[in-house]
Amino acid sequence: MTLADVAEYAGVSASTASRALNGRGELSPATRAAVLEAADILAFEPSHLARSLRTRRTHTVGFVVPDVSSPFYAAALKGAQGALEQAGYRVLLMDSTQAVDGEVAALRTLLAHRVDGVLVSTVGIDGERFDALVTRRGIPCVFFDSELDGAGDGAVLLDNAAGIELLVEHLARHGHTRIGLLAGSPRETSGRDRRDAFVAAMRSRGLEPEPGLVAGERWSLEEGRAATRAILAAGPRPTALVSSSVELALGALLACRELGVGIPDELALATFDDAYFAELLDPPLTAVAYDPADVGRRAAELLVAAIGDGEVPARDVTVPVDLVVRRSCGCGT
């Protein structure tokens, strides 16, 4: 079923059929009705391919994340998907598998598909490659969760500094001074920012973060477990641990269970990222919460604006975070 078929069936030309279907131009109600009916009868579904080729707009947006199966990215994807669909865009999904090469490959594929814009949570692509692939071709891009410094048309980031400060502050109130950090990827701004924020939060309290008490450089449960073991094994133990993500915190929980270290008695724990099951863990995790779907949604809105207006002044939005106190920090026991 092509537009030509519909036109023929309705006894009009292809252009008239096109106008009728798209509601453009002035045409007699009669012909319009005839075309609409024909389209309906023939179950005509216009080819986005042909349309896009002609109009140079695909109404498709690329979504690039380090790992779709991670709860955070899955939720962000859901939020973005909803907002994009509302705005008439489709989502082409790419998983960079936490590798810069994967990210570059994903971007290439998206370019080949002539997406109208891209939403990316970078794992650390370099400025040059990004510019060559995206900027230079004028593809609107908004980053989320992790950005490439000044690149792109905007970014939606979590308030990493505030979140870490909340965590350290709370632990400090409990009287802890030897606090360790489970860090995330140093190649992502989210990882770096949280680490930097930790150092800043400690220093602002006159505490010097000890090198041996900071470990981890990947966002995974396994890494959290290994890093926790490393921290616990290195010299005098910390009395509290700040984690840069739930995955990492879950690893800590596991490590402590294996080592027989009681939480929160022997080691208090508080983490960035809340999870819907945090309340049900043993012990319930004290965490910094925010709406992950919202970051996807906001990023999508920014992108849609950027695609529409061409050049929106790079606007960054910071998603607020909250502290949810439960028991792993030592409260309520």
By CB neighbour count within 10 A (0-12 exposed, 13-18 middle, 19+ buried), where does 322 fall? middle
Shortest distance, CB of residue 55 to DNA, whole angstroms? 5
Q: In the chain, what is the greatest distance between 2 CA atoms, to the nearest angstrom?
A: 86
248 binds, among DNA, a second copy, none (CB under 5 to 8 A by kind): none
Distance, in Å, from the CA atom of 48 to the CA atom of 81, rounded to the nearest integer, reads 19
Distance, in Å, from the CA atom of 245 to the CA atom of 274, rounded to the nearest integer, reads 8
The count of other CB atoms within 10 Å of the CB of residue 267 is 24
Distance, in Å, from the CA atom of 332 to the CA atom of 328, rounded to the nearest integer, reads 9
By CB neighbour count within 10 A (0-12 exposed, 13-18 middle, 19+ buried), where does 67 fall? middle
Which CB atom, from 64 or from 183, has the smaller least distance to a second copy? Answer: 64
Shortest distance, CB of residue 43 to DNA, whole angstroms? 12
Shortest distance, CB of residue 12 to a second copy, whole angstroms? 22
Residues that bind a second copy (CB under 8 A): 43, 45-50, 52-53, 58, 60, 63, 67-71, 73-75, 77-78, 81-82, 85, 90-95, 97, 108-109, 111-114, 132, 221, 250, 253-254, 257, 275-277, 279-284, 293
43 binds, among a second copy, DNA, none (CB under 5 to 8 A by kind): a second copy
Which CB atom, from 73 or from 143, has the smaller least distance to a second copy? Answer: 73
Closest CA to 146 of 64, 227, 81, 78: 64
Determine the interface stretch with DNA among 19-27, 222-230, 236-244, 253-261 (rule: CB under 7 A).
Answer: 19-27
Determine the interface stretch with DNA among 8-16, 91-99, 298-306, 314-322 (rule: CB under 7 A).
Answer: 8-16
275 binds, among a second copy, DNA, none (CB under 5 to 8 A by kind): a second copy
Single residue of 26, 149, 208, 311 touching DNA by CB under 7 A: 26
Shortest distance, CB of residue 27 to DNA, whole angstroms? 3
Shortest distance, CB of residue 236 to a second copy, whole angstroms? 27
CA dist list (Å): 318 to 51, 115, 270, 290? 37, 26, 22, 11
Distance, in Å, from the CA atom of 331 to the CA atom of 95, rounded to the nearest integer, reads 39
Residue numbers 27-56 binding DNA by CB under 7 A: 27-28, 30-32, 44, 46-47, 49-51, 53-56
18 binds, among a second copy, DNA, none (CB under 5 to 8 A by kind): DNA
The count of other CB atoms within 10 Å of the CB of residue 177 is 13
CA 106 to chain centre: 15
138 binds, among a second copy, DNA, none (CB under 5 to 8 A by kind): none
Which CB atom, from 184 or from 209, has the smaller least distance to a second copy? Answer: 184
Residue 94 near residue 64, CB atoms below 8 Å? yes
Single residue of 19, 170, 229, 297 touching DNA by CB under 7 A: 19
Shortest distance, CB of residue 8 to DNA, whole angstroms? 10
Residue 21 near residue 39, CB atoms below 8 Å? yes
The count of other CB atoms within 10 Å of the CB of residue 95 is 16
Distance, in Å, from the CA atom of 242 to the CA atom of 169, rounded to the nearest integer, reads 11
Which CB atom, from 111 or from 325, has the smaller least distance to DNA? Answer: 111
The count of other CB atoms within 10 Å of the CB of residue 56 is 8
For residue 191, how many C-alpha atoms fall within 13 Å in the half-sphere facing its CB?
Answer: 20
Shortest distance, CB of residue 197 to a second copy, whole angstroms? 26
* Token pair of 40 as six digits: 């309906």
293 binds, among DNA, a second copy, none (CB under 5 to 8 A by kind): a second copy
Contacts with DNA, residue ranges (CB under 7 A): 1-4, 11-16, 18-19, 21-22, 24-28, 30-32, 44, 46-47, 49-51, 53-56
